[in-house]
Amino acid sequence: MIKTDILIIGAGPTGLFAVFEAGLLKLKCHLIDALPQAGGQCSEIYPKKPIYDIPGFPEILADDLTKNLLEQCKQFEPGFTLGERAETIEKQEDGSFIVTTNKGTKHQAPIVAIAGGLGSFEPRKPLINNIESFEDKGVEYFIKDPEKYRNKRVVISGGGDSALDWSIFLSDIASEVTLIHRRNEFRGALDSVDKVQELKNSGKINLITPAEVIGIVGEHHVKAVVVSQAEHIEKEYEVECDHFIPLFGLSPKLGPIANWGLEIEKNAIKVNNALDYQTNIPGIFAIGDVNTYPGKLKLILCGFHEATLMCQAAYQILNPGKKYVLKYTTVSGIDGFDGSRKEAPKAVVKAIN
Ligand SMILES: Cc1cc2nc3c(=O)[nH]c(=O)nc-3n(C[C@H](O)[C@H](O)[C@H](O)COP(=O)(O)OP(=O)(O)OC[C@H]3O[C@@H](n4cnc5c(N)ncnc54)[C@H](O)[C@@H]3O)c2cc1C
């Protein structure tokens, strides 16, 4: 049994920052994530994309944000159960919770913070009979490392921002990029659509619309995709490629958390945002993309804020009656659980004449 103060479900940016904020309050955290690595959407969906709205970072790659968050919380020695999905939760007589994963690992904590984001990642897959047998053999639903496609022939399908952005990005890396979409119009940002058109005109992207990929050809690896195009003379024909990347978005699925007796609205967990992001079950909080309340914005910045307030509330639950005085880290410094100490400078405020 793994025991901790705050059990965090989801090691995305919100969960990772919660570890740091809890650490400042001397609370220990353990994180469970269904993915084999920390970082949530940042590392799973768009690791190499720059983010422009993290305060203090004019531009930061999603992957680097994850690295920084891990570095920042490391001193508070969080525990990780990675590659396992939190399946069940049981309340104990002493008020604590036991959360068991799909692999049977048990965790006990008086506070549970669900930072499950979009839930377990479920990419929308095209209806192609044999597609599953080609997964990781040329069929990928996320682009983790664009270098994988250097000098390869890539077919991307989809009509949203991801399909457009990655077609543009890979046109400089892959030997051939073909973008296939079932309509002539795209749903993505206008300047991305213009850029794709430009790249098509200069021969750097093959654009096939309106068309659909209806089959995959290959033995142990993708060799070609079968394209159906109403306006084409042959109607169905093959496009040779090394990789087929359908980018149809993710279908948000809360997964097992949906059965935990929490109040759910539109696939998200309702919380009390006026107070502390607690759910309808006392002791269970929901922070980051996974929660909903009036005016909710699914942004990393908002997850950080919610994590901070959640930790304050958890401190009050775990230390009833103890008064907490907000301390600036610039004044108090940070005592890491690993024995490290980041000193606050002696004189922090310069006198103004
Ligand atoms: C392409 C793209 C670009 C984006 N760009 C920006 C941007 O520029 N700025 C910005 O602020 N936001 C951006 N976002 C949104 C941002 O990524 C999310 O707001 C952020 O990731 C939410 O963080 P989170 O920690 O709440 O959830 P997530 O990052 O979704 O992490 C949740 C984690 O919980 C895990 N999980 C879920 N259920 C379980 C379970 N039952 N058991 C175990 N683990 C579980 C998941 O595996 C996942 O790792 C973008 C999103 C996308 C897809």
- Residue 344 clears pLDDT 90, i.e. is over it: no
Report which of 68, 46, 49 is spatially closest to residue 59, judged by C-alpha positions.
49
Of 191, 212, 246, which residue sits at a domain end? 246
Report which of 174, 173, 186 is spatially closest to residue 247, judged by C-alpha positions.
186
- In this structure, the answer to whether residues 115 and 154 fall within a common structural domain is no
Report which of 36, 28, 31, 37 is spatially closest to residue 10, judged by C-alpha positions.
31
- Tens digit of each residue's pLDDT (9 = 90 or more) over 261-287: 999 998 899 999 888 999 999 999 999
Q: How many separate domains does the chain show?
A: 2
Q: Residue 121, annotated ligand binder? A: yes
- Residue 314 clears pLDDT 60, i.e. is over it: yes
- In this structure, the answer to whether residues 57 and 73 fall within a common structural domain is yes
- CB-based burial label for 225 (10 Å; 0-12, 13-18, 19+): buried
Q: Is 332 helix (H, G, I), strand (E, B) or coil?
A: helix
Q: Which atom of ligand 1 is nearest to the CA of 303?
A: 26
Q: Which atom of ligand 1 is nearest to the CA of 85?
A: 42
Q: Residue 212's domain spans which residues?
A: 125-246
- Residue 348 clears pLDDT 60, i.e. is over it: no
Instruction: Enumerate the β-bridge partners of residue 250.
Output: 123
Q: Which atom of ligand 1 is nearest to the CA of 254?
A: 38
CA dihedral of 281, 289, 330, 22, whole degrees rounded to 10: 30
- In this structure, the answer to whether residues 157 and 266 fall within a common structural domain is no
Residue nearest to atom 49 of ligand 1 (CA): 40
Q: Is 155 helix (H, G, I), strand (E, B) or coil?
A: strand
Of 195, 226, 246, which residue sits at a domain end? 246
- In this structure, the answer to whether residues 113 and 262 fall within a common structural domain is yes
Enter the pTM of the model. Answer: 0.75
- In this structure, the answer to whether residues 301 and 211 fall within a common structural domain is no
**DSSP secondary structure, 289-302, as one string:** GGEE-TT----HHH
- In this structure, the answer to whether residues 96 and 194 fall within a common structural domain is no
- Tens digit of each residue's pLDDT (9 = 90 or more) over 101-138: 988 999 999 999 999 998 876 778 999 999 999 998 99
Cα 230 to ligand 1 centre (Å): 38
Check the CA dihedral 62-336-322-324 and report its sign. Answer: negative
- In this structure, the answer to whether residues 98 and 180 fall within a common structural domain is no
Q: Residue 316, annotated ligand binder? A: no
Q: Residue 86, annotated ligand binder? A: yes
CATH classification of the domain holding 80? 3.50.50.60
- In this structure, the answer to whether residues 181 and 222 fall within a common structural domain is yes
- CB-based burial label for 177 (10 Å; 0-12, 13-18, 19+): buried
